[in-house]
């Protein structure tokens, strides 16, 4: 048996290639939009990819199921409750997909979405017991899928949460402790709220340590998983729709215009967005007014999709040679609206100091001193609510980054404030958003709360239910 995980850190997304080397046939599970890795690895192992399985209609990335169908004649398998414009093989509980000695058995596990499925993997050449289970967004490592996302539009969150409880207890928990658990996402994904940094586990470990699998009634479970869920990023609905459409979403070829500064300014006057994908440190030192910073070395695609408008053109400010990688990553979340990049990067602005802006960054020690003054800054923590509850700077307010644009009016305007996140990535995104709407009187904590704690400065925690 060949079983390989592909983990995309910038999307916290896991996909899989599984097949039988002897039979020469394979399937891909929840594949990302660009397919070269799967195709190359399959070829090296002598496998032909004949099947694509979507555990559900993903909302946080565009899948390549149609590309595999069109290029290789692969059959598409989706849960029996799914509805799409293209033909697919509906997967019912108990249905089997045979790949030589490797057997994939489908389980309908609705809850995260109505059509959600899990896929149990057997390798008859070695054992009759289940080897692994691909759980999609039903069961994560340390968490379970959210039942409230826009991908499930038309269904009440409480109804989906009830289905999720039944799926976990009737379909997944009966699997043996030794069964490997391979989910579709890990820590950092907005499809859950308390995921582990581990990318796989076993049913036994999850049975013992996953908070959502502990002994509780269905009513208690529903109340827990529907409580305090943050709003879904706007692009989630867009991607869920794309994954249902009959359109050939090929990975995009990079054909960008090299823009002069004057042309870039013309594009912005016509409504284009400026995406600065440089490191937050460089962005803080100098950046173009009106630009949004989402650094490439982070959860780039996720946050770009969350804060940019997928219906407006995007122009780039990047390090030399970085354009192709950015286009590929944005395409993974369904953003094909990049039109060009600033020729010469930030050096193009040397003669236009009026277009250059900076963000004041301070150390944890500096911030601590400011907090001791008579008019201390308000700390605006842009991490998620569970991160904030686990430990935050005393007196800080929590405005999660994915909610910032809709909660601008909660940002203090009558006194100074300081932006802070975990390590400085999200606070840089937040700083750029605030500057584009004319808010400039703030500072940003370098290194985030990690630097604060490393400096032995105090934090407080709030009692919470996971």
Tokens in use for 331?
């395409």
pLDDT at residue 465, rounded to an integer: 47
Digits of tens for pLDDT over the chain (466 positions)?
999 999 998 888 999 999 999 999 999 999 999 999 999 999 999 999 999 999 999 999 999 999 999 999 999 999 999 999 999 999 999 999 999 999 999 999 999 999 999 999 999 999 999 999 999 999 999 999 988 875 456 788 899 999 999 999 999 999 999 999 999 998 776 666 667 788 999 999 999 999 999 999 999 999 999 887 777 777 888 898 999 999 755 555 657 899 999 999 999 999 999 999 999 999 999 999 999 999 998 889 889 999 999 889 999 999 998 898 999 899 999 888 899 999 999 999 999 999 999 999 999 999 999 999 999 999 999 998 888 999 999 999 999 998 999 999 999 988 899 999 999 999 999 999 999 999 999 999 999 999 999 999 999 998 754 4
Find, among 311, 313, 273, the residue nearest to 292 by Cα.
273
In SS3 terms, the chain reads as CEEEEEEECCCCEEEEEEEECCCCEEEEECCCCCCHHHHHHHHHCCCEEEEEEECCCCCCCCCCHHHHHHHHCCEEEEECCCCCCCCCEEECCCCEEEECCEEEEEEECCCCCCCCEEEEEEECCCCCCCCEEEEECCEECCEECCCCCHHHCCCCHHHHHHHHHHHHHHHHCCCCCCCEEEECECCCCCCCCCCCCCCCEEHHHHHHHCHHHCCCCHHHHHHHHHCCCCCCCCHHHHHHHHCCCCCCCCCCCCCCEEECHHHHHHHHHCCCEEEECCCHHHHHHCEECCEEECCCCCCHHHHHHHHCCCCCCEEEECCCCCHHHHHHHHHHCCCCCEEEEECCHHHHHCCCHHHEECCCEECHHHHHHHHCCCCCCEEEECCCHHHHHHCECCCCEECCHHHHCCCHHHCCCCCCEEEECCCCHHHHHHHHHHHHCCCCCEEEECCHHHHHHHCCCCCECCCCCC
Cα Rg of the chain (Å, integer): 23
Task: Tell me the catalytic residues.
Answer: 421
pLDDT at residue 151, rounded to an integer: 47
Q: With beta carbons less than 8 A apart as the criterion, state whether 121 and 106 touch.
A: no
Please state, in angstroms and rounded to a whole number, the distance separating the CA atoms of residues 398 and 126: 51
Tokens in use for 434?
């605030």
Residues making up the chain, counted from first to last = 466
Find, among 188, 141, 195, the residue nearest to 423 by Cα.
188
- Distances from the Cα of 20 to the Cα of 4, 95, 186, 240, 374, angstroms: 12, 19, 27, 31, 69
Tokens in use for 56?
């559900």
Q: With beta carbons less than 8 A apart as the criterion, state whether 272 and 313 touch.
A: yes
pLDDT at residue 192, rounded to an integer: 65
Tokens in use for 229?
């869920």
pLDDT at residue 149, rounded to an integer: 75
Residue with tokens 């169908």: 69
Please state, in angstroms and rounded to a whole number, the distance separating the CA atoms of residues 172 and 206: 11
Measured in degrees and rounded to the nearest 5, phi and psi for residue 150 equal -65, -20
Domains for the chain: give ranges and CATH numbers.
2-242 (3.60.15.10), 257-357 (3.40.250.10), 361-454 (3.40.250.10)
């Amino acid at each position: 048996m060949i079983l390989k995980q592909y983990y995309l850190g910038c999307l916290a997304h896991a996909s899989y290639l599984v097949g039988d080397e002897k039979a020469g046939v394979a399937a891909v599970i929840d594949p990302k939009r660009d397919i070269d890795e799967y195709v190359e690895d399959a070829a090296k192992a002598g496998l032909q990819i004949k099947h694509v399985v979507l555990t559900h209609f993903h909302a946080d990335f565009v899948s390549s199921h149609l590309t595999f169908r069109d290029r290789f004649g692969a059959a598409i398998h989706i849960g029996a409750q799914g509805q799409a414009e293209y033909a697919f093989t509906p997967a019912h509980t108990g249905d089997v997909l045979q790949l030589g000695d490797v057997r994939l058995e489908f389980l309908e596990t609705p809850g995260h979405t109505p059509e959600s499925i899990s896929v149990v993997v057997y390798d008859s050449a070695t054992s009759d017991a289940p080897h692994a289970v691909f759980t999609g967004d039903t069961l994560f490592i340390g968490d379970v899928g959210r039942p409230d996302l826009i991908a499930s539009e038309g269904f009440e969150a409480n109804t989906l949460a009830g289905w999720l409880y039944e799926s976990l207890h009737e379909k997944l928990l009966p699997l043996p402790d030794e069964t490997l658990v391979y989910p579709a996402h890990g820590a950092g994904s907005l499809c859950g709220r308390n995921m582990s940094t581990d990318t796989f586990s076993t049913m036994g470990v999850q049975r013992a340590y996953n908070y959502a699998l502990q002994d509780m009634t269905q009513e208690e479970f529903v109340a827990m998983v529907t409580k305090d869920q943050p709003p879904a990023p706007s692009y989630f609905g867009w991607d869920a729709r794309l994954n249902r459409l009959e359109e050939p979403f090929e990975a995009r070829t990079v054909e960008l215009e090299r823009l002069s500064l004057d042309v870039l300014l013309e594009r912005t006057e016509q409504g284009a967005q400026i995406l600065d994908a440089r490191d937050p440190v460089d962005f803080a030192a100098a950046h173009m007014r009106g630009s949004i910073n989402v650094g490439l070395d982070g959860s780039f695609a996720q946050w770009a999709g969350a804060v940019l408008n997928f219906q407006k053109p995007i122009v780039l400010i990047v390090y030399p040679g970085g354009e192709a990688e950015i286009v590929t990553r944005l395409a993974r979340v369904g953003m094909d609206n990049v039109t060009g990049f600033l020729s010469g990067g930030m050096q193009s602005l040397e003669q236009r100091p009026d277009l250059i802006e900076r963000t004041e960054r301070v150390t944890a020690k500096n911030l601590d001193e400011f907090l001791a003054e008579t008019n201390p800054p308000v700390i605006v923590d842009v991490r998620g609510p569970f991160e904030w509850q686990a430990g935050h700077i005393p007196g800080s307010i929590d405005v999660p980054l994915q909610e910032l644009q809709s909660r601008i009016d909660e940002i203090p305007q009558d006194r100074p404030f300081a932006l802070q996140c975990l390590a400085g990535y999200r606070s840089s995104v937040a700083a750029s958003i605030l500057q584009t709407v004319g808010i400039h009187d703030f500072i940003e904590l370098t290194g985030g709360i990690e630097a604060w704690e490393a400096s032995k400065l105090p934090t407080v925690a709030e009692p919470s239910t996971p």
